[in-house]
Amino acid sequence: MRFVLIVVAMAAAMLFDLRASQAVQRPWCAGTNRGGGTFSYNCTIPTFEMCVQEVIAGNRGFCSPNPYYRPEPPPRRAKRQRSYY
């Protein structure tokens, strides 16, 4: 019975495509000084303008490009089927 339960749980995990982490990486990081020797990074910002707003709202910080950001590749184009008349 335990084996069946484990197999069903594994099948459900594969079916629903559960992942350990769904973190989003975007092109810009906002580094903000929180005071008291703490510093935080927010690397989920899509544009430089939004990054500047994040830094202004949090005071004392900077914006920098995210070194871990990898844009998604463009979708592959399907090959056209050649038709012979």
Q: Which residues contact 3 (CB under 8 A, 6 or more apart)?
A: none
Check pLDDT > 70 for residue 59: no
Which whole number is the average pLDDT over 14-37?
Answer: 75
d(CA 53, CA 38): 20
Q: Where are the domains of the chain?
A: 23-70
pLDDT bracket for residue 34 (50, 70, 90)? confident
Q: What sign does the dihedral 46-47-48-54 (CA atoms) show?
A: negative
Mean pLDDT over residues 39-46, rounded? Answer: 89
**Contact assessment for residue 29 and residue 54, using Cβ atoms and an 8 Å cutoff:** no
Q: What percentage of the chain carries pLDDT values higher than 90?
A: 24
Mean pLDDT of the chain: 81
Could you list the beta-strand ranges (E) of 1-85: 28-35, 38-45, 61-65
CA geometry: angle at 19 spanning 4 and 30, to 5°?
A: 165
Which of 3-12, 14-23, 40-49, 58-67 has the lowest average pLDDT? 14-23
